[in-house]
Structure 1
Amino acid sequence: MGIRGVIALLGALAIFLFGMSTMTSGLEKLTSGKLASLLEKLTDNIFKGVLLGAAVAGMVHSSAATTVMCIGFVNAGILKLRQAVGVIMGANIGTTITAQILRLGGLSDENLFLALLKPEMLGPLTAFVGILFFSFFNSGRKKTVGQILIGLGLLFIGIKSMESALAPLTELEAFQHLFIRFSNPVLGIAVGAAITALIQSSTASVAILQALSASGVVTFSTALPIIMGQNIGTCVTAILSSIGASRNAKRTAAVHLYFNVIGTVFFLVVLYGLNALIGLPFWQDTMDYGSIANLHSFFNIACTALLLPFNRQLVSLVEWTIPDSGAADPVATVLDPRFLSTPSVALERARTVVLQMGELAKNNYHLAVELLSHYDQKQLDLLNEQEEALDHMESSLDQYLVQLSRHSLDDKGSDLVSDLLHALSDFERIGDYVVNLSESATALNDAALSFSPKAQAELDSLCAAVGEALNQVLEAYRAHDAYAAFQVEPLEEVVDLITAALRERHVERLKTGECTVEVGTQFLELLTNLERISDHCSNAAVRVIHQAAEKGSLVRSDIHAYLHQLHQGGSPQFDQLFAQATEKYYQPIS
């Protein structure tokens, strides 16, 4: 096999891996992350977990990818370690589906229908249909179907190209003698593990073995240890993924490794022992595409059946080998980089952090308002501590969303990334203005100053209106409630009305000497910061409305024009809510 043959083999492997990646990406888009979300919801039972793991791995054609997804969920605290065990076991079964699809390469050419199902025919046809869908349909779903078909076609083309590239090699007598040596279980397992670890895909390494089987050099005794080694080699991806993750995430990767190692050792001892004692009649049988696919499936199903009853003991083993250690950064665990490969899940995790930021900002707001009437240094320390956490969340989430935006997102996903970036900025700015409120409270306390009863009543009414706006924004984000978000803008308009009126009244009090300059300065500072908090509540709320609105609506195309229309009497519902808020907050102090 010369340099041209090596280059042809590498090219064929690249086509196969790219096809698998393209098809997997398309399937993830088509399901909008629903498969990943199911992992979160349907793992309360070990048997459900196995079935779910098999389904997800079958769809994404990778047990490693499914395990990495599990590591991300465990790292984020969504799944418990015991829940992940069943999914990992099932993933090993689901990943065998690709080999079963590729067994079509072993079909005969007796009739046209069977010939069309062979990879050399089915691959180009599938890819051609896929490129038609991908090129001529603009709608997201049909275009994604085209992407899946292109990936599937490249998968078939790649396996056939590998078979052709390996054909000259398998005819060499030296290679045939070398391959016989792989019947040594230690060498066979080592080779299978090394190749799989190198290309980080047991599916691809099984496909290479299937391509080699076309030459007739692969026997059961050589295929068995190689397939066992491939199961161990695929654990490398999960182990690499767990680096820098939480303790339980590392344990999840260890479950994947221990499961495959224990299964391999058990069946190695049993099968080689039986062959030594009684001689297995199929030991030297020649393998083809179908028999390799069946062996791959049988081995993984048998390992699952063997270890499923001992799932609790498996968890205990990894907990013993990876003991407890220090706590991890809670924000980093939620914004796990492993979710970036599944954008819909990553976006939901980002929404979770945005909501947490909003809750912190709201808590700090109530602390600051309380400080204005009852100053407490401990409460101020808590406020500052939570503000630091808010800044940390903003920085981490901003970087996470920027990374996510570089992945393949549909239009809806791109819009949501943009809206979340705006929302996190709004909540962070609310936090900053709340700190300004606390600084005014500190200045008043240090100088032993206080507002007149009338000024205090006015300020209380304004604070209550801003507080309701904050509550409505968080309810909108928590429940995806567009109506709760819609109620914020009328409140913001009332806040503007109140602050304008209070400024005029306070200037009059300064003129008449009812209020000192020192107190007046702090009062005006408070009005400015409260008004800006209200403005950012409005900005955050309209992003929820933007996400919920139908395509073609004004708020989808131009948010500023939408708000202008509301303010100019374009919505009777808005006018009614404005009147109610005016009656509740402005009229009592007018």
Structure 2
Amino acid sequence: MDGTYSLFSVVSLFVGGLALFLYGIRIMSTGLKKASGERVRILISNVTGNRVYGVLVGAFTSMIAQSSSVIIATLIGLVHSQLMTSTQALAVIFGAEIGTTAMAQLFAFQLHDYSLTIFAAGFALNRLGKSESLRFTGEALSGFGLLFFGLKLMTEAVAPLHNYAPFLSALRYLENPLLAVMAGVIITALIQSSGAFIGIVITLAQEGSLTLNAGIPLLLGANIGTCITAIVAGSGMLRAAKRVALAQVLFNAAGVILFLFFIPEYADFIRSISPSKDSLASDMVALEVPRQIANAHSLYNIFMALLLLPFLSGFDKLLNWLLPDDPEEIRQRPSIWYLKESALATPTLAIRYARAEIARMASIAAKMVGASCFHFIRSGPDRDVVFPKLSVLGGMVMREEKLDFLEKRVSEYLIKIARRELNERDSKEVFALMGIVKDIESIGDVIETLSGKLVGGKMWLKSELTEEGKHELTELLKHVTNDMEQLADSLSEMDSRYPSRLIMHDEEFKQLVAHAESAHMNRVARVNESEITHDIHMELINVLEQVHHYCKRIARSITACNESER
């Protein structure tokens, strides 16, 4: 090959083939996930302490998703949400690394000549299928055809390079295992797909440009490079979730350390168990090496999973030692403090525990309300009042997660109480508490909406609120925050004294709102800054009115319980 145009053609064809290959993987993965629905996520979340079951689930789901990164990201999300422990996730990680090798085995079948036929069949099934399942299967099949057509284009692009000296010189560097591993890590991290890089490796092997000894360290590097997705997914999450990403990194790093110095011996072993010819001609290498590389990839991951599986507990301890839980982070984590299953046998006692947890919910919501207007009416460091490592917005997000978690758990607990034999008073209180839980959670949703809608608006706001406007909003905020805090105190004993006052003095809050709106509209007529900030100012007043509305609902629920008791 010579000439600039020829080199440009080769590069264009290869890059185009790679783009088509990556697009095919995305379509196939999307179709498979749609066809399987939530079953993959549910299957993973149901993994318990059974190690073998965890490995099998990991392998199966990774083959369905055609991406170990997707499975690891799912595990990170489940652990962060406390639907799974990091210990339970370990076996699934081992299995996911096995399942992802199925892609390499498919590549080695060299289905290039049938790629467009497979694509056409998938496209027809997607368009003509009468059920969603058939259409999604067709989508996956069309993606499967596209990725093989992309491989075909890459193969055609590489073919002229056999006699291109710079290309051959670059390939010689891959005979150095350490350089090959580094190349695998870097390229896989850049394209964020180990499947795509393995496709490139097998493409080079099919053209006789790459030996098995050079291909194995590239695969080892690809296994580490694909961890970048898990690292990104775990950033900003709880340490338990970060340990899932760390587990994948350590799993693959251990494999590299173990195999790096025995690549010639491992290659000989793979040749001994794979179809082989005595001839070393280029066409023979092209026929044999792709299958050998696929086998090397599969056996490596299976061996590492079987090797580490018996030491799962020790591996878990190592992860906890390297990345221990942060005591402050534990306090930020959604958790139950008061609810006890054992108390359900005594409904009156269980109701008291439920009250205590609901009072805690109200206290959490009160802190969210207190921080809601920070970016607009206050100055000072952007730090949460309880957790200084968090920003104000970070603290609000953390508390919203707690409220969502508690709303579900407390509601389930109250339903269990309701199914017991209750007297009339307890039955009414349980019903009232269910409504209060929903109201508190609704307050959290109101504040969450505010943080998403308005905090972003603060970035493009051309003018600060006026000092008079800040003062009026501060008074409204103090009123509403005080209501929330007092209601939290009242809930633990269902004390109706403050809730009764809140309802009785509702007119005072309405007058505060009316005054704030009137004063603001007067400023809009004469002050440019007030006109600019009009929408945000009125939105803040509206949010505080909504919070006050839910406070009144909670107060009425508390007073209704006391009235029925009398």
The verdict on a shared fold, with TM-score over 0.5 as the criterion, is yes
Could you say which residue in structure 2 is the equivalent of 1:151?
143
- After superposition, the C-alpha distances for 1:527-562 in whole angstroms (9 at most, x for unaligned) are x9779999xxxxxxxxxxxxxxxxxxxxxxxxxxxx
1:15: Cα distance to partner? 1.1
The answer to whether the 8 Å contact 1:361/1:390 transfers is no
When residues 259 and 100 of structure 1 are mapped into structure 2, their CA distance, relative to the original with a 3 A threshold, is: same
When residues 129 and 320 of structure 1 are mapped into structure 2, their CA distance, relative to the original with a 3 A threshold, is: same
Residue identity matched to 2:329 = A
The answer to whether the 8 Å contact 1:19/1:152 transfers is yes
Could you say which residue in structure 1 is the equivalent of 2:109?
104
Matched, 1:261 2:262: no
Instruction: Give the Cα separation in 1 of the matches to 2:305 and 2:163.
Output: 37
Instruction: Give the Cα separation in 2 of the matches to 1:392 and 1:447.
Output: 21
1:440: Cα distance to partner? 8.8
Matched, 1:195 2:187: yes
The answer to whether the 8 Å contact 1:88/1:256 transfers is yes
- After superposition, the C-alpha distances for 1:282-316 in whole angstroms (9 at most, x for unaligned) are 99974532111111111111211222222222212
Residue identity matched to 1:168 = P
When residues 262 and 135 of structure 1 are mapped into structure 2, their CA distance, relative to the original with a 3 A threshold, is: same
Residue identity matched to 1:160 = K
Q: Aligned to 1:327, what secondary structure does the other structure show?
A: helix
Could you say which residue in structure 1 is the equivalent of 2:361?
none
1:271: Cα distance to partner? 3.8
- After superposition, the C-alpha distances for 1:316-340 in whole angstroms (9 at most, x for unaligned) are 22211112212265579xxxxxxxx
When residues 66 and 170 of structure 1 are mapped into structure 2, their CA distance, relative to the original with a 3 A threshold, is: farther
Matched, 1:119 2:112: yes
- After superposition, the C-alpha distances for 1:60-101 in whole angstroms (9 at most, x for unaligned) are 111111111111111111111111111111111100111111
Instruction: Give the Cα separation in 2 of the matches to 1:446 and 1:232.
Output: 60
Structure 1 residues 21-420: aligned runs within 5 Å: 21-105=26-110, 118-121=111-114, 123-137=115-129, 139-271=131-263, 286=285, 288-325=289-326, 326-327=328-329, 329-330=332-333, 356=408, 359=411, 390-393=442-445, 395-396=447-448
Instruction: Give the Cα separation in 2 of the matches to 1:49 and 1:36.
Output: 13
Moved more, 437-446 or 209-218: 437-446
2:10 to 5, 15, 22: 5
Could you say which residue in structure 2 is the equivalent of 1:503?
none
Residue identity matched to 2:183 = V
The answer to whether the 8 Å contact 2:55/2:96 transfers is yes
Instruction: Give the Cα separation in 2 of the matches to 1:104 and 1:211.
Output: 12
User: Kindly, what percent of the aligned residue pairs are identical?
Assistant: 29
When residues 384 and 52 of structure 1 are mapped into structure 2, their CA distance, relative to the original with a 3 A threshold, is: closer
When residues 171 and 55 of structure 1 are mapped into structure 2, their CA distance, relative to the original with a 3 A threshold, is: farther
1:273: Cα distance to partner? 7.8
1:447: Cα distance to partner? 12
Could you say which residue in structure 1 is the equivalent of 2:537?
none
1:390: Cα distance to partner? 4.9
Gaps of 5+ in 2: 1-5, 336-400, 419-424, 430-434, 453-482, 506-547, 558-563
Could you say which residue in structure 2 is the equivalent of 1:442?
498
Instruction: Give the Cα separation in 2 of the matches to 1:253 and 1:352.
Output: 25
TM-score, L = length of structure 1: 0.56
Aligned length in residues:
383
TM-score, L = length of structure 2: 0.59
Instruction: Give the Cα separation in 2 of the matches to 1:35 and 1:136.
Output: 26
The answer to whether the 8 Å contact 1:353/1:393 transfers is no
When residues 446 and 51 of structure 1 are mapped into structure 2, their CA distance, relative to the original with a 3 A threshold, is: closer
Residue identity matched to 1:327 = E
When residues 119 and 447 of structure 1 are mapped into structure 2, their CA distance, relative to the original with a 3 A threshold, is: closer
1:139: Cα distance to partner? 3.4
Residue identity matched to 2:29 = T
1:387: Cα distance to partner? 6.8
The answer to whether the 8 Å contact 2:216/2:263 transfers is no
Moved more, 133-142 or 255-264: 133-142
Instruction: Give the Cα separation in 2 of the matches to 1:89 and 1:274.
Output: 21
